[in-house]
Amino acid sequence: MIIVDGSGTGEYAALTGRDGVLAVESGVGGALATLEWAAHETERRLITANLARQSGRTAPDDIRRPLWILLDRPGVLGHLAAADGRPDPQELLRIPLRHGRAAQVTVVLAEQFDALDTLSEAVRTHTRARAVLGPASPEQIEAVLGTGPHTTPPPEVPAGRGYVRLGAGPVLRLQVPATPDPYDDATSDAHRQAVLDLLPGRGEPVEAAPVPEPADEGPATAPVPVAAETAAVPVETMVAEARPSEPLAKAQPAGAES
């Protein structure tokens, strides 16, 4: 997994150096370099898989390992990149978004309602699994999911509660674990320990994703310890959040209500 914290607040610092986490970036330069590597890695996997099929061989293990890309607050990161004369980070996700399924690459983007208009056409087109977390109006839910829920959303909801829609399917109720930043002073001791207990361990150091050289195909990715995905979940996901205090760290299947 590679994690890009577009807001630069350090909310994902607890994942730095964890097993299966290749990089946690919050600066513009490191974030763009990491996303560029992810695009090259997706291309490498596609080419390698195609060559293996043509030669009648099994695809190598390194391209069958899942690679997850989490980009939180792409709108903020894009604004900072533009101010520095750098490319839009969302454009670097075009290849992983379009071809990630064939390359075992999953893209997850998280954004706030007030920045939905900053999402690129590629993100809007290729994110087929979408979720809304936190209190939201029917209009906000419809703006993200493409249609509104069957019931009126309550004005207040528990942390991690929201709605989800897979492709053109129905809008369903969703509950995911609320995972506050364990390094935030405002987090209670009980919540801090609960989050730390969920985190993967710190084993052998995982080499961070480097800036690719022209002739470099990029390093093979390490196995990512994530929950097994259900059969109907598409590869690309977009999450809209009502409040920045509810980062989505590790989703679990929840009982869905229509």
Q: Domains in the chain, please, with CATH?
A: 2-241 (3.40.50.300)
- Sequence length of the chain is 258
Cα 119–chain centre separation:
14
pLDDT of residue 136: 94
SS3 15: helix
Number of H-type helices and E-type strands within the chain:
6, 8
Convert the pLDDT of each residue in 10-52 to its tens digit: 889 999 999 999 999 999 999 999 999 999 999 999 999 999 9
Q: Which two three-digit tokens encode residue 238? A: 């977009």
Q: Which two three-digit tokens encode residue 212? A: 């690719």
Mean confidence (pLDDT) of the chain: 83
Main-chain dihedrals φ then ψ at residue 194, nearest 5 degrees: -65, -40
pLDDT of residue 218: 44
**Is the pLDDT reported for residue 227 higher than 60?**
no
**Is the pLDDT reported for residue 234 higher than 50?**
no
**Is the pLDDT reported for residue 226 higher than 70?**
no
Convert the pLDDT of each residue in 62-96 to its tens digit: 999 999 999 999 999 999 999 999 999 999 999 99
Total Cβ atoms within 10 A of residue 151: 12
With a pLDDT cut of 90, the percent of the chain lying above it is 70
Instruction: Identify which has the larger pLDDT, 176 or 255.
Output: 176
Q: Which two three-digit tokens encode residue 68? A: 């997850």
Residues in CB range of 251: below 8 A, 6 or more apart: 176, 177, 227
This prediction has a pTM of 0.77
Q: Say how far apart CA 177 and CA 246 lie, in whole Å.
A: 9
Convert the pLDDT of each residue in 109-159 to its tens digit: 999 999 999 999 999 999 989 999 999 999 999 999 999 998 889 888 998
pLDDT of residue 238: 65
Look up residue 213 and give its amino acid.
E
